[in-house]
Amino acid sequence: MRAIGKLDEEQQARTLADYLLVEGIENEIDGGADRSWTIWVHYEDQIDSAREIFDRFRRNPEGVEFSRASSAARDLQRRQKKKAARARTRYVDVRTTWSSVTVFRPGPLTLGFIGVSLAVAVLSRLGGNEEVLQNLAITTHEFGGGYVRWAKGLREIMGGEVWRLFTPIFLHFTILHLVFNMLWLKDLGSMIESRQGSWLLLALILVIAALSNLGQY
């Protein structure tokens, strides 16, 4: 912010300030101890234009262009205040928003899936119990050379063991795998179950389970 000059009369300073504002030049006036009024311009790239207007005003402060500026400046200031007020209504304080986020309590279906997952993790010893793995996997399989060889044709499912389409979602092989999956299930499952109901959550889980397990197979 830089000063572009001084005027002796307050009214003249205010008239010039209004004209500068109408011309798009942000400014302020400041009364000094010597009873003069200093005009300050906010932005450096507007200094030259403001000084040219200041010189023109000094030569003819009673000019029509300047006398008409006050009412136009008041209208402009009113519009700016309304715009600022509308901006404040759209302002979001992240600190208060996060503090007011709805916390969804886990529903019975969410808790049930978490409970089954934990129970399977214990029974399967996180993948260490081959019998549990063979019974819950999409089909029987063999390990060898770092690879899994699945039985071809999904013969168990074709024979009526339809649950194998879904039960692989309960298999976890590390503590981190189990913990992170349960955290996501608690958060997302609770949100969906609270808002949309247990039946929709169940349908969503079953469809995603069947498609993802078949895709992996």
Distance CA 14, CA 50 (A): 14
pLDDT reported for residue 212: 94
**CA dihedral of residues 180, 186, 187, 190 (deg, nearest 10):** 160
Same domain? For 207 and 117 the reply is yes
Domains contained in the chain, number: 2
Count Cβ atoms below 10 Å from residue 43 Cβ, excluding itself: 13
Same domain? For 128 and 92 the reply is no
Q: Is residue 35 part of a domain?
A: yes
Same domain? For 88 and 173 the reply is no
The pTM for the full model equals 0.52
Mean pLDDT by 10 residues, the chain (217 residues): 90 90 89 87 92 92 82 80 76 63 85 95 91 89 71 86 93 94 94 93 96 91
pLDDT reported for residue 185: 94
- The token pair at 170 is 């309960």
Write the CATH number for 79: 3.30.70.2350
Count Cβ atoms below 10 Å from residue 4 Cβ, excluding itself: 22
Q: Is residue 68 part of a domain?
A: yes
C-alpha radius of gyration, the chain, whole number: 37
Q: Is residue 103 part of a domain?
A: no
Same domain? For 26 and 117 the reply is no
Q: Which domain holds residue 89?
A: 2-96
pLDDT reported for residue 171: 93
Q: Is residue 203 part of a domain?
A: yes
Residues 6+ apart with CB under 8 A from 168: 136, 137, 138, 209, 213, 216
Same domain? For 140 and 56 the reply is no
pLDDT reported for residue 7: 92
Q: Is residue 102 part of a domain?
A: no
Same domain? For 209 and 115 the reply is yes
Distance CA 79, CA 8 (A): 30
pLDDT tens digits, 29-48:
988 778 899 999 999 999 99
Q: Is residue 101 part of a domain?
A: no
**What is the tally of helices (H) and strands (E) in the chain?**
11, 5
pLDDT reported for residue 101: 63
Instruction: Please choose, from the candidates 131, 136, 121, the residue with its C-alpha nearest in 3D space to the C-alpha of residue 174.
Output: 121
The distance in angstroms from the start CA to the end CA of the chain is 69
pLDDT reported for residue 76: 79
